[in-house]
């Protein structure tokens, strides 16, 4: 099953509620929420207050991608604001087990994010403790960047490890996803795809979303 998670980073913030409702009606599976602190990444987006404001507008799972330092300090806020998944960067988490346990303690599903250059080996020790692995196919901080295809073999590598261990972990891809780049990622074993500009920059968001999803489904059929 291919899931599409539109990234609201690419939405029109002056009408964020409508933008969320529009992608839900278009067939979105999750809503992807990019939180940036201006330290771990060179950009600032929004925090738990904004997420809290849009939480009543949809029942779709909120997939919160923390691109921040000191994530432990903010996890409770995002959990209380209605996160279903919280992912933290392995590169920004010196005490990864503790952070994962903290996320789970609030009833939220924990996940780990890898930057494009970070090897899969970095997360092997915590694989049995997480629900989601997010592979960045751009360097985090901005929407609209070019897909880095050298990440695809890492997706294949992790997918095999998950299969061999009999684990149930979603593999998500984020950065430069469109109806073409989804194909190698889906074939490599990913099942959740973040798309920002490929959906929100299009006049017909529903058509754009469905085209990406169909390309992913065809790739694995
Ligand atoms: O986390 C990030 C960027 O740091 C992503 O979620 C982007 O927002 C995806 O945008 P597109 O590459 O799809 O435009």
Q: Is 175 annotated as a binding residue?
A: yes
139, 174, 197: residue to mutate for ligand 1 pocket, most atoms within 8 A of CB: 174
Q: Is 117 annotated as a binding residue?
A: no
| CATH number of residue 79's parent domain | 3.20.20.70
Number of domains in the chain: 1
pLDDT band of 139, cuts 50, 70, 90:
very high
Q: The domain containing residue 57 runs over which residues?
A: 3-220
Average pLDDT, the chain: 98
129 is catalytic: no
Query: Separation of 4 CA from ligand 1 center, angstroms?
Result: 13
Taking CA atoms only, the protein residue closest to ligand 1 atom 7 is 143
Catalytic residue among 29, 34, 37, 131: 34
CA 204/CA 174 separation, integer angstroms: 21
What tens digit of pLDDT does each residue of 5-30 get?
999 999 999 999 999 999 999 999 99
CA 194/CA 174 separation, integer angstroms: 5
pTM more than 0.95: yes
Count of Cβ atoms closer than 10 Å to residue 101 Cβ: 12
Torsions phi, psi for 88 (to 5 deg): -120, 150
pLDDT at res. 65: 98
pLDDT at res. 190: 98
pLDDT band of 40, cuts 50, 70, 90:
very high
Helix (H) or strand (E) run with residue 112 in it:
strand 109-114
Helix, coil or strand: residue 158? helix
Residue 139 near residue 103 (C-beta atoms within 8 A):
no
């Amino acid at each position: 099953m291919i899931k599409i998670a539109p990234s609201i980073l690419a939405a029109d913030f002056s009408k964020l509620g409508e933008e969320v409702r529009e992608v839900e009606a278009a067939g979105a599976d999750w809503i992807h929420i990019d939180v940036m602190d201006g330290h771990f990444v060179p950009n600032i987006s929004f925090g738990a207050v904004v997420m809290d404001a849009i939480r009543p507008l949809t029942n779709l799972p909120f997939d919160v991608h923390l691109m921040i330092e000191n994530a432990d300090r903010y996890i409770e806020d995002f959990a209380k604001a209605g996160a279903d998944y919280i992912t933290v960067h392995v590169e920004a988490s010196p005490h990864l087990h503790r952070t994962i346990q903290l996320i789970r303690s609030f009833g939220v599903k924990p996940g780990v994010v890898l930057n494009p250059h970070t090897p899969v080996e970095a997360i092997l020790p915590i694989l049995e403790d997480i629900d989601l692995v997010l592979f960045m196919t751009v360097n985090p901080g901005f929407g609209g960047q070019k897909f880095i295809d050298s990440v695809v073999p890492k997706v294949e590598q992790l997918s095999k490890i998950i299969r061999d261990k009999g684990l149930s972990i979603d593999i998500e891809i984020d950065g430069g996803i469109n109806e073409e780049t989804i194909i190698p990622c889906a074939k490599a074993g990913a099942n959740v795809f973040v798309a920002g500009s490929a959906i929100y920059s299009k006049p017909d968001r529903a058509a754009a979303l469905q085209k990406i999803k169909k390309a992913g489904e065809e790739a694995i059929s």
